[in-house]
Structure 1
Amino acid sequence: MPAHPHSHLPGPVQEAPSDGDDRRFSWYAGDHHIHTTFSRDAMYTIDDQVRRGQECGLDWMVITDHGGPDHQKLSVARQAPEIAAARERYSPLVFQGLEWNIPGAEHATVIVPPHERTVPFLEEFERRWDGDILAAASNPAGPRLLRHSTEGGELARRLGLEALAWMCAELERGTVDTALVLGNHPMRTGRLDPSRIRQWRDAAPGVFVGWEGAPGHQAAALPEPYSRARGRGQYDEFPGPLSFPGYDVDQYRTWGGFDAATARVGGLWDSLLAEGLPWWITANSDNHFDHMDTVVVGEPSRAFYEEHGHRGVPVQTGTPQHGYVDFAPGFYSRTYVGAQSRDHRAVMAALRTGRVFVTHGGLLDAIEARVRPGTGPGASGPGVTFGSRLRIDRGDDVHVELLLDPASVPNGAGEVPRVARIDVIAGTVTGRVADADADLFEAPGTRVVETFEVPARARGRQRFEFVLRGVADPLYLRFRASDGRHCRDDGHPLVDVIGDSDPWDDLWCYTNPVFVDVG
């Protein structure tokens, strides 16, 4: 296949410390949700995907092909040498992972670093706990109720928790030294109840650490004939008999390309943060087929996949395929991690601690918060950034500094994006609720407490500051930026229109929170 046409996107953004900041980390761009020919519904080779990720400026990538009986038996082992070859050939750090079919729920990324037991660990986890495999074994001739449906009931819920307990036990045993789980497209079907998310987090703290704040498939809402005229991210379902009854129809849509659980101020994500729970967001491509690509699946038959564990090598047709809804890894969606070094485990450590911001369409090169006790010149130390906690005495002021590096190169649409506004969102941390199984999905006290308008001609690093005075209660701060082209008068994102949402005309950046603890 030809080289990716947009190879001018920025690479790793190096830290530029502010005065007195002695921290040492750099921002590295990545994608933890990428499919290959080893998925039964995708087509690119591992070499294709890693090469394209490098061309789009990625520093790390996770190969996450769909779990299932054939993938478990054949694909995991057959992927490994191709991933090893790609590591030698290209610059991005490449992880071998898996898209886990959580019993009775949605999907999740499983990430494991290079290790001599990575392959057997993934194979065993998938064999024991993949929802497709469990469903086929439990009812081979009928409905697979343990797969993605809440019809699986309490059995499916229990199996998901047992899977996480098994993973944690294997980590304690030293089968592999570390692993991460991140939920994928959480609100797409509306069948993921809030209590289950809390149960996953509690069952595997430091392992199941967050979800996609923005799903892939970002070209899906372009109108026909250029795409499928679906919901952005393929978020176009409606409430039904299997849905969690508390969600309205807008919960099933993206808001400015982001999952409603993340984009809704005072929504589900904020309800977790208001309990003081570390729960992080990412953004990824979920790449299967590039929008308007001219290649097709090399071996489309189910029988070939069942025999070989992959779908062959893509075949060039020379004709754009109008049904493809994805962007290449790094071409549109990026997850930036603040890692202390450029290696697999440092990237995982940054994901685990939440030192992350995410962007669409190259909206900006970098953003960073530095939150300190004190006011102005009296603010002390380098402060803390995304995913960290700051401890203050009751009544102290909190100084917030935001550093913005505007976009410096054209994005995939051929324009240099411009940040129009940055919002500071704050919520009170009220602590864990007494009933850990409660289906809480609102934090009504969360609100925008400050907005910065970014000058239209801003070039180079921009600095914004404000002070929270006399802080009496624990809180968290999170930040978002937008190009301002599609938002409400108050700056909040609009709900994306099915079949008519241009992803390049509605760009956002979200960060993970900073917690402020009060002593």
Structure 2
Amino acid sequence: MTTDRRRFLKGAGLAAAGIPFAPSTDLDLGALFGRDRYQWLPGDHHTHSQYSYDAMYRIDQIAAGGRAHGANWIVFTDHGHAEHERASVEPTAKDFTAARRRYPDLMLWHGMEWNVPGAEHATVFFQAGDQQAAKLREFERSFDWRLTDSEGSSPENEALALKALRWLAAEERARRIHAPVVLINHPLRNGRIAPHELRAYRDAAPDIVIGMEGAPGAQADGFPKPLGNGGARGGYINGPGPNSWPGYPAEAYRTFGGWDWATAKVGGLWDSLLAEGKPWWITTNSDSHYNRGDTLVRPPVPGDWYDTTGKFPDPVDSGVPQLLAPYADFYPGEFSRTYVGVKQRSLEGVLDGLRAGRIWLTHGGLAQELEVGVHGGGSSVTLGGRLRVRRGTNVTLVVSARLASRPNGGGAVPRLARLDVVAGPVTGPAADRETAAAPGTRVVKSFEPRWAPGRQVVFQHTFRNVREPFYARVRGTDGRAGGFEPTPDVVGQANPFEDLWLYTNPIFVDVH
């Protein structure tokens, strides 16, 4: 047992009981969870349209599909590409503006999926008013590896990625763009982003690079296919390549219950970042290109069509649900949901919630609602917050979940079988920037709700006599596939509705 872990186990009182209690308890749950301050809005930051070289939907079709499945906010993120930069950005902006007018109740952003120099992909979005298209084109032309010949892993290309982040920060300071956000997409699908790169991105622009996908989109790619020629949830079917970081084990290239290994492994890469005491939030999304079960199809076109036009023709309705490749995705909100706690229902409200880490994530409607709060020393905070207490204080974490009451896309009402409290010590900046482990982090308490559709369950866990700073987060599962620990998804045999998980972002506790 490491020194950090011994200190944490001794100081935080992890043997303390996790006590279920009724919502009628004297504890003011409304105040603890900030119910008078926050509403939780699901959305999606990673979608593709006919302006991507590998997708087909009109912008308004993505918006309509997301709206129909409960999404309140959506970011449109077509791929960086030479033809996209040349011919697609302004037409996308026009279609985007039309979608905003058609669906005024949705909060929509025109962003892009950035090919990160020396790495792989990231969501980039910001606001720039009537200069939105021009600023996106400038960023794409200057910093996308497809346009700058900077794909390979090298110090020079990594430096260009950091230059791009500094450009976003400078443009924000100069008020030419507003509130840029960067999220690393499907981080370990190809092992292309090393731990030191994640740390470098975060440290170069901590208010802009706010985290990563904890679970990728394309979750329907795991469905069993005829002849056993199926894909894998999130497209995680690869192995190490010439640009992969060599320190990742083979298991890092697979999803675990649909979640990236960086997130699913307790005490792994995500926890190693949180153990530094710095924000690093996770999200989930659709990565919508072709959505499973849709009847829309792309008309046949010559192979060089996109490279000539920068846009595919509008899809047509075949009348037949499409279930085979490339239909590997869901609509925004259909399977993956990123819930953000907002102070106001607006673009600014969602941005504020994302940057603050007021985020919880679920697959397949595993829970209808989820609230987490921590209180101690007369104060309380919710997800993404920092609670400051005196040494020796008892700190209590409270979880409230509204169990599912309606069938999901798999045709069944999901059952939340267990909730886990995961916690670990904050040990400060990593001496080794390639660190991908936090040995002091572990599951400290588990709860098994008695299931009844629509029921609210409330649990608490107390960290007694806290002596050192720590963080805590919550995860949950239906326990159907691998039991109560995430297990690797089997390539070609992974129905996403049969292995559901939810995760929250952490709460930090600072001790003085």
2:345 is equivalent to residue 345 of structure 1: no
Q: 1:230 maps to which residue?
A: 231
Partner SS for 1:116: helix
Query: Which of 464, 475, 486 pairs up with 1:469?
Result: 464
Aligned-partner residue type, residue 54 of structure 1: R
C-alpha change, 1:205 and 1:72, in structure 2 (3 Å) is same
1:507 match: 500
CA contact (8 A) 1:105 1:192 kept: yes
How far did 1:458 drift? Answer: 5.8
8 Å Cα contact 2:405/2:453 also seen in 1: no
| Unaligned 5+ runs, structure 1 | 1-16, 136-145, 375-379
Contact 1:228 1:325 in 2 (8 A): no
Offset at residue 38 of structure 1 (A):
0.6
- Amino acid in the other structure paired with 1:79: T
Task: Determine if contact 1:235/1:254 at 8 Å carries over to the other structure.
Answer: yes
Q: Is the 8 A contact 1:180 1:209 kept in 2?
A: yes
User: What's the counterpart of residue 29 of structure 2?
Assistant: 18
| Identical aligned residues as a percent | 46
Shift of 1:386: 0.9
Q: What pairs with 1:324-363 in structure 2 (closer than 5 Å)?
A: 324-363=327-366
Q: Which amino acid aligns with 2:286?
A: S
Query: Does structure 2 conserve the Cα–Cα contact (< 8 Å) formed by 1:219 and 1:227?
Result: no
What letter matches 1:281 in structure 2?
A: I
Q: Which moved more, 1:65-74 or 1:457-466?
A: 457-466
Q: Report the equivalent of 2:443.
A: 448
For 1:281, the equivalent position in structure 2 comes to: 282
For residues 300 and 252 of structure 1, the distance between their equivalents in structure 2, rounded to whole angstroms, comes to 34
1:184–1:215 Cα contact (<8 Å) kept: yes
1:462 alignment partner AA: V
Q: Show the counterpart of 1:105.
A: 119
Equivalent residues in 2 for 1:154-303, closer than 5 Å: 154-225=155-226, 229-298=230-299, 300-303=301-304
Question: Would you say 1:44 and 2:37 are equivalent positions?
Answer: no
CA apart distance, 1:295: 2.6
CA positional deviation for 1:503 = 0.2
What is the rounded CA distance, in whole Å, between the counterparts of 2:266 and 2:220 in structure 1?
A: 25
Q: CA deviation at 1:167?
A: 1.1
TM-superposed CA distance for 1:417, in Å, is: 1.1
Task: Look up the match of 2:417.
Answer: 420
- Give the whole-Å Cα distance in 2 for the aligned partners of 1:97 and 1:63: 6
CA shift at 1:317, angstroms?
2.8
Give the CA deviation at 1:19: 4.6
Q: Which runs of 4+ in 1 moved over 6 A?
A: none
TM-superposition CA deviations, 1:165-207 (whole Å, max 9, x none): 1111111111112110000000000121100100000111110
Whichever residue aligns with residue 485 of structure 2, its letter is H
Correspondence 1:71 to 2:64: no
Choose from 76, 87, 95 the match for 2:109.
95
The answer as to whether partners of 2:190 and 2:241 remain within 8 angstroms in 1 is no
Distance 1:363 1:286, change over 3 A: same
- Specify the alignment match of 1:306 in structure 2: 307
Q: Is the 8 A contact 1:221 1:228 kept in 2?
A: no
Q: Secondary structure at 2:361's aligned position in 1?
A: strand
The CA distance in 2 between the partners of 1:199 and 1:389, in whole Å, is: 23
| AA of the residue aligned to 1:326 | D
1:228/1:95 CA distance change after superposition, 3 Å: farther
Q: In structure 1, what is the Cα distance between the partners aligned to 2:164 and 2:244? A: 23
* Contact 1:113–1:345 (Cα < 8 Å) also in 2: no
Higher relative CO (Cα under 8 Å, sequence separation at least 6) belongs to: 2
Deviation at 1:320, TM superposition (A): 4.0
In terms of mean alpha carbon deviation, does 68-77 or 40-49 score higher? 68-77
- Unaligned residue ranges in structure 2 (runs of 5+): 1-27
Does the 8 Å contact 2:128/2:176 carry over to 1?
A: no
Structure-1 separation of matches of 2:358 and 2:228: 34
Q: Is the 8 A contact 1:58 1:330 kept in 2?
A: yes
| C-alpha displacement of 1:88 | 1.7
Structure 1 range deviating more: 115-124 or 463-472: 115-124
Measured after TM superposition, the shift of residue 309 of structure 1 is 2.2
1:129 aligns with 2:132: no
Paired residue secondary structure (2:226) = coil
Contact 1:299/1:311, CA 8 A, preserved across alignment: no
Looking at structure 1, the residues matched to 102 and 229 of structure 2 have their Cα atoms a distance apart, in angstroms, of 35
Alpha-carbon distance in structure 2 between the residues aligned to 1:227 and 1:71:
35
Aligned residue for 2:45?
32
- 2:231 is aligned with what amino acid? R
Give me the CA root mean square deviation: 1.7
Q: CA deviation at 1:302?
A: 4.9
TM-score normalised per structure 2: 0.91
Offset, 1:81: 1.8
Residues 51-80 of structure 1: CA deviation (Å, up to 9, x unaligned): 001100110000000011111122111111
Q: Aligned partners of 1:223, 1:289: CA distance in 2, in Å?
A: 17
Q: Distance in 1 between the 2:246 and 2:59 partners? A: 40
Structure-1 residue corresponding to 2:132: 118
* 1:116 alignment partner AA: D
Query: In structure 1, what is the Cα distance between the partners aligned to 2:110 and 2:226?
Result: 35
Separation in structure 1 between the aligned mates of residue 93 and residue 469 of structure 2, nearest angstrom: 46
Q: In 2, distance between residues paired with 1:516 and 1:301?
A: 58
CA distance in 1, matches of 2:229, 2:51: 24
Match of 2:387 among 390, 400, 403: 390
In 2: Cα distance, 1:85 partner to 1:59 partner: 17
Paired residue for 1:139? none
